[in-house]
Amino acid sequence: MAGINQGTPETAVGEPIRLGSNNEFEIEQHPASDRLIIRDTVNGKVAYVRKERGGTIGGDGVLIRALREGKPMADDGRTYDTIQEAERQASSWVFVPPGTFNENVTINTKGLTLRGSGYNTIIDGGTNIAVNISSNNVTVMNIQASNEGDGSDTTNTIEIFASGVCIQNIHIPLSGRSAIYISQGYKNNSIINTTVEESRLWGINVEGNRNIVSGCNVSNASTGDDDFGDCYRFGDGNENIIANCIANPGADTRFSINYDQSCNNNICIGNRSLDGADINEQISCENNIIANNRAQDIRVFGTGTLLDGNLTGASN
């Protein structure tokens, strides 16, 4: 009887694999490729058999069917008309091909990864939130997200009401309020390699604890509310880190990096800012380039602030 030996079916090329009549074999679909998994229940060994590329599942992890149809795909191997439909059916991941999706996506699946194809995968929230994350340990990556808001500067583009969330490689050309908002009380989130071109209030707004903002580039904050918003704002949170980020403030931006006075034990390191940083209560502020602020390059409130190796008064 044919079996499996060291991950290879014991059969000649082109010979059909007979599963037998005594449940000697189990067959299932690999969740992220075009392979079928054949499991020998007698000896416990496993073999992988490749299906025809471009079939009912994708090929080589690129999810060819989703790309071909231009529809989001969930980890059940099926495509759906909307991202939200795919999210409801998924248990671990959703892949979104290039295209514009006029949606307001809510992620309620714990541990879900929502992955796009890069700059050409666009989620346009219109006058509402583009992506709302309300479950822990979610990852959103490789997409462009935007919204116009309703004109009252009250609608964020990406909202996070969860912990352990990773936002990575996101491009936000326009936000109706804050491009990314982490709500108060949530922790251990990270915003990595994200670009914000314009926000009507704050660029990246963090109100939780122990969050990380790294490698981001924020421009033109506060275009909807003169002299109020900041490129990066940390409010009512402790032990947050901002590192290796760039701020390119517009004419209406108040501060490039702003810590509210209730913040404690935060770290601001290795950033480049052209409009100063508002540094408050027990901050470690090291090796930053901070210049051309309308008032002063570094303004310190309270005690316990470490200033080390910062270059101020620099030009662009």
Whole-number pLDDT of residue 62: 43
Domain segments of the chain: what residues?
Answer: 1-62, 98-312
CA dist., res. 92 & res. 135, Å (int): 12
Q: What are phi and psi of 68, to 5 degrees?
A: -70, -40
The alpha carbons of the chain give a radius of gyration, in whole angstroms, of 24
Q: What's residue 97's pLDDT?
A: 92
CA distances from 197 to 94, 178, 231 (A): 26, 11, 10
Among candidate residues 101, 106, 111, the one with its CA nearest the CA of residue 88: 106
Can you give the pLDDT at residue 249? 78
User: pLDDT at position 252, please?
Assistant: 72
Q: What's the whole-model pTM score?
A: 0.74
Beta bridge partners of 49: 36
Token representation of residue 124: 């346009």
- Residue 264's H or E segment, with its range, is none
Q: Per residue of the chain (316 residues), what is the pLDDT tens digit? A: 455 565 555 655 445 555 555 566 677 666 666 667 777 777 777 776 665 443 333 343 446 677 778 899 998 888 899 999 999 999 999 999 999 999 999 999 999 999 998 989 999 999 999 999 999 999 999 999 999 866 566 789 999 999 999 999 999 999 989 999 999 999 999 999 999 998 988 899 999 899 999 999 998 887 775 556 788 888 877 888 888 898 887 777 777 888 776 677 778 888 887 666 655 545 556 555 555 554 455 665 555 556 666 666 654 4
Distance, in Å, from the CA atom of 266 to the CA atom of 210, rounded to the nearest integer, reads 9
163 contacts 216 by C-beta, under 8 angstroms: no
What are the strands of the beta sheet with 46-50, ordered from one edge? 25-29, 35-40, 46-50
Report the alpha-carbon distance of residue 265 to residue 155 in Å, rounded.
30
Can you state the percent helix, strand and coil of the chain, rounding each to 5? 5, 40, 55
User: What CATH number should be reported for the domain whose range is 98-312?
Assistant: 2.160.20.10
